[in-house]
Chains A and B, each alone.
Chain A
Amino acid sequence: MAKQVPDTRNVGKDAMTPEGTVNRAALPAIFNPEDLNALEAALRLKDRVEGSTVHILTMGPQRAADIIRDAMFRGADGGYLLSGREFAGSDTLATSYALSCALKKIAPDVIFAGRQAIDGDTAQVGPQVAEKLGLPQVTYAEEIVEVKEKSLVIKRRLEHGTEVVECPIPAVVTVNASAAECRPRNAKRVMKYKFALAGSEIAAAPESPAAQRAAAKEYLQIVEWAAADVNPDPEQLGLTGSPTKVKKIENVVFAAKEAKKFTAADEDINSLMVELIASHTLG
């Protein structure tokens, strides 16, 4: 499971309006960083287990197909895009429900996800999906230590240490940023998969050479599902299926308060230190 997110870590000067609020259009959409760690964990498992495959599942608008292509460039075999207005306004629970419906259909042996997404930092979707599917979970995974026939031995990173657990599969594994970094895009794979398209991308321009190429070759087709394709209970989707509601949004405007200004000049730093010592701020 992966998510395309606005790059909230790089909120530069142009990303803030003069009023001090966020200018969303200025934020690029990226592969959620910890989902890349999760992809690497999945690819390493694939390397160890002959005949296994790695697919990306993401929910989002059509452009989220970008991260599926990106994953294919790095070693994934294909992907599923869950897209449609029925999913709009989902909180973490409704998102988890939609993803779990798709996963019931895909039925993978191991479901990897990043620990959390940088646009919400909630870390809820992994455990919530696991619960919906009735599967055990291993959170904060750092490394798969051993692959057994019906279980995985996994090292977890805790706040003040590590823990090694053995978990039967199928299972949900959420991967920490401290796990191995994702391998880079492979030039050959980029050549092979750059024309991979989701269903709606093909439908948008069916006569284009890219669309005709993708339509002719199965490995270039990203599976795209609308709500109806995953047999959900409509009551549990989108805004209706979200127990939490946003009551109010306040854009953060930094309160103007005049700071006393100093430069790097010696006399400035000297007078600041004198002032701080005199006021007993520094002992």
Chain B
Amino acid sequence: MNNIFVYIEMEGGKVADVSLELLTKGRELATKLGVKLEAVVLGHKLADIATELAKYGADTVWTADDELFVPFRTLPHTAVLCGLIEQEKPQIALFGATPVGRDFAPRVSSALHSGLTADCTQLEIGDHKDPKTGKEYKDLLYQIRPAFGGNIIATIVNPDHRPQMATVREGVMRKEYAAKPGAGEVKPIDWKKFVKDTDLVVKIIDRQIEERKIDIKGASILVAGGYGMGSKENFKLVHELADVLGGEVGASRAAVDAGFTEHARQVGQTGVTVRPKLYIACGISGQIQHTAGMDQSSMVISINNDPEAPINKIADYAILGDVNEIIPKMIKYYKQNSK
């Protein structure tokens, strides 16, 4: 008993990457604790799903299969998760920090009075001693996340309330088949006893979903622009360099907030986590909320006019000067030398 729950998010009939990443992490934690890893799926036409989830280590696959659950709506999802958690009493429940997870996981935690840590970048098992009461706790979930704009790293614990709930962004954890697949035993959720008529009051009138077009996660070379590019016009230089080098374009949050480029390109804690072979940071100062999303790049080149910019501390090559002067030179000398 007191197993680990991972909420499995469905995206157009497929399992979202972040859910598989959470299963991979959940498998590691479950093995450490000696408990079962249980996947919870709400969706429609879920026939073959258990086979896939078992590969990532799921021992149990709880399913609520009905058209009611597609597309996602807050209240029915909240009702089912709360009902199942009260029934099964997991010690840990993990959710993707996606628009869906960030919409309803807080409601679940509020209903269960369990607490929730958002956007964790690491999850570990460890002991805890309450500094005031001296009470000792074994095997808690350490929920580790940057806070205060990324200037501190906080380890959060949840000593007295269950489940210990956390969300994690896509791409932060690795996705891997389990060394030994789980049993993937399917257990239907008796959801009708959890969902009430009042959970159906919000009606979806229209939905326009675009295919994912931009994929900065898969790029082996990423050229990222920051606020230091100065303008949307200058940001085109980032695209030019990426085109010439055969890479993709990324951006810092400040550049996205300033409207230089779209959010799908944002790298960092509140964007995408990337691990390219080469990361070129153009006019990015390198606050930790940005570097948290790219510091596992194999090689980092920074271009910045501030020698003290934090990005230079993690860079392998630091070019000091004006990005708008340097990028065209990089293009020029790349073309000259690569022939």
Interface string of A126-162 (1 = CB under 8 A from B): 1111111000111110000000000001000011111
- Contacting pair B203 A166 (CB below 8 A): yes
A244 x B158 contact (CB < 8 A): yes
B151 touches A (CB below 8 Å): yes
B233 is an interface residue with CB less than 8 A from chain A:
no
Q: Do the beta carbons of B320 and A128 come within 8 Å of each other?
A: no
Cβ contact within 8 Å between B208 and A118: no
Q: B109 touching A259 by the CB < 8 A rule? A: no
What interface size band does chain A fall in?
A: 35 or more
Establish whether residues B319 and A273, one from each chain, have CB atoms under 8 Å apart when the complex forms.
no
Q: Closest residue to A33 on the B side, CB-wise?
A: B257
Query: Cα distance A264–B324 when bound, in Å?
Result: 10
User: In the complex the two chains form, what is the Cα distance from A270 to B158 in whole Å?
Assistant: 54
Chain A contacts for B299, CB-based, 8 A: 281
Stretch at the interface among A203-211, A218-226, A249-257: A249-257
Encode contact with A along B99-118: 1 for CB under 8 Å, 0 otherwise: 10011101101110111111
A262 CB contact (under 8 Å) in B154, B286, B318, B322: B318
Complex interface: stretch among B43-51, B179-187, B330-338: B330-338
Residue interface bits B264-289, CB-to-A below 8 A is 1, else 0: 10000110000001100000001110
Q: Say yes or no: is B174 at the interface (Cβ < 8 Å to chain A).
A: no
Encoded as 1 (CB less than 8 Å from any A CB) or 0, chain B from 147 to 163 comes to 11111111111111100
Q: Which residues from chain B contact A35 at a C-beta distance below 8 Å?
A: none
Which of chain B's residues have a CB closer than 8 A to the CB of A127? 74, 103-104, 106-107, 110
- A164 at the A/B interface (Cβ < 8 Å)? yes
B197 at the interface (CB under 8 A from A): no
* Given A163-B71, A165-B205, CB of A91 within 8 Å of CB of B317: no
A-B contact pairs, 20 of them (CB 8 A): A8-B151, A21-B151, A92-B116, A121-B119, A121-B270, A139-B99, A159-B98, A165-B202, A242-B115, A244-B117, A247-B156, A254-B288, A260-B317, A261-B319, A264-B322, A269-B333, A272-B333, A277-B334, A282-B245, A282-B338
Which 7 A/B pairs are nearest by Cβ-Cβ distance? A8-B149, A243-B115, A264-B321, A22-B151, A161-B209, A131-B110, A128-B110
